[in-house]
Structures are given as C-alpha cells and as structure tokens.
C-alpha cells in the first residue's frame, strides 16, 4: 500500500521559516494536501492541490510538490502555528495520510 | 456556513455495537462525499472510507473493509459509522470530513466523536 513519510518533529524559532516534508513514491504526480491540527481540535485544511491556500489561511503558509517530495513552508512562523501537521494524497482511490509532524516554535 | 456536526462521546464495552453520526448543513449534502477518519490516542490520521450520500456509493480503505459499516440517510443529511462488535483497539476519535467530487482534499471536518471501548 502507498505510504507517505514525514519527520516526527520540526523545531523553528519565532519569525523564522519552517519546512515540513512529506515523501512518497512519485508524489509529485499526485496532488498533496496539508492539514493543521492543534491539541484537542479537529484538523484544518491549510494547503490543497499542492500550492493553494483556502480562504482564511494566512499567506505565510505555502506548499510545493515535485518528484517524490511535497513540502509545507511556513514563513515568519508564529507561536500560534505550533501544531501537528499532516500531509495527504490519494492512491488507488484511497486517501492516505502521512504520519504527522509536530511543529515546535521555540 | 458549511458545517458537520457529529454525535457525542460514547463509552462501550468490548463486544457491544455502536453507530455514530455526522450531520451536514449549509450545503447540498447529496452532492459531496463524506469521509470517516480514525485517530487513535496520540497517533495519526487514517481514512476508513467514504460515502456519496446521493446514491450511497461507498468505498472502504482495504484496512477497514469488513470491520465497520458506513452508511448515509440523505433525507436527514446524515452519515453514519457503525460497528457490530467493538474491540478495545477501536478506542479512538472518529472524524467525518467533506470531500468534493473530483477534488483531492477534505474540508471541513466535524468536531470528532470520542469512542472509548473498555471493560
């Protein structure tokens, strides 16, 4: 079955740029989505179709996808961005999620 | 406002049955897929399957096929996830999420239903 691999954790200083990767076989040939989940809350879509931001999501969130890796980039990271982030793609009509990355802002 | 509202937390014993619900509002419920997603304690997200309420077309993740049943009642804009025999390993938060036909993402998500299975 298809697998998406994310680093378990990423740390970033406030105001700096955080990059979270998501790796999968030929992931660049699929559309990647990204979700933010804060403790005790439901996931929220922050990037869809590799690079698009839903309305209400700050411009500091951006995405890219090429080759075997999709990347979520948060520019000027704020303390409120501390959360778990999940990538997601489709394979064989099944939605697959990455294992999640805990972003710590310190 | 598009909203998915799920039923409340449940505490069950192993071997019992359960049906939880997800009610959509603010959009044409029959024209969008509903996905069910499991999140075990401290773990990641797993898509269990999706249903199209318009015709009840249902597709299961192979890992969950035969373990749960997904259904919908379009007359009351509600999707369901049910178990006939719960196990302790079913303890998790279950989310429903809307999926647009032809799209590749889930948005929005319900608030989640905590299911605890313990003797």
- Is any Cβ of chain B less than 8 angstroms from the Cβ of A7? no
d(CA A42, CA A29): 28
Q: What tens-digit pLDDT sequence spans chain A (106 residues)? A: 899 999 999 999 999 999 999 999 999 999 999 999 999 999 999 999 999 999 999 999 999 999 999 999 999 999 999 999 999 999 988 999 999 999 999 9
Interface of B with A in 2-61 (CB under 8 A): 35, 37, 44-47, 50, 59, 61
Check residue B65 and report its DSSP letter: T
Q: Which stretches does DSSP call E strand in chain B? A: 3-6, 10-12, 18-25, 33-39, 45-52, 57-60, 69-73, 78-83, 92-99, 106-109, 113-117
Q: Do B47 and A95 touch (CB under 8 A)?
A: yes
pLDDT at A93: 87
pLDDT per position as a tens digit, B65-112:
999 999 999 999 999 999 999 999 999 999 999 999 889 999 999 999
The two structure tokens encoding residue B17: 């049955």
Per CB-CB distance under 8 Å, the chain B contacts of A96 are: 47
Q: Do B106 and A95 touch (CB under 8 A)?
A: yes
């Amino acid at each position: 079955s298809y697998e998406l691999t994310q680093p378990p954790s990423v740390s970033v200083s406030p105001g700096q740029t955080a990059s979270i990767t998501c790796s999968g076989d030929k992931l660049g040939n699929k559309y990647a989505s990204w979700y933010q989940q804060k403790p005790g809350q439901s996931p929220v879509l922050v990037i869809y179709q590799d690079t698009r931001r839903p309305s209400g999501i700050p411009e500091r969130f951006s995405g890219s996808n090429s080759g075997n890796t999709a990347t979520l980039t948060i520019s000027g990271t704020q303390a409120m961005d501390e959360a778990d982030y999940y990538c997601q793609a489709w394979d064989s009509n099944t939605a697959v999620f990455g294992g999640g990355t805990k972003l710590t802002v310190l | 406002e598009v909203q998915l509202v799920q039923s409340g937390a449940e505490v069950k014993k192993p071997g019992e049955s359960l049906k939880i619900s997800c009610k959509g509002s603010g959009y044409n419920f029959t024209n969008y897929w509903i996905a069910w997603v499991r999140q075990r304690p401290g773990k990641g997200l797993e898509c269990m399957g999706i249903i199209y309420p318009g015709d009840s077309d249902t597709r299961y993740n192979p890992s969950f096929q035969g373990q749960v049943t997904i259904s919908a009642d379009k007359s009351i804009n509600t999707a369901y996830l049910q178990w006939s025999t719960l196990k302790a390993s079913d303890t998790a938060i279950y989310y429903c999420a809307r999926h647009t036909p032809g799209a590749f993402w889930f948005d929005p998500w319900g608030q989640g239903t905590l299911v605890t299975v313990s003797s």
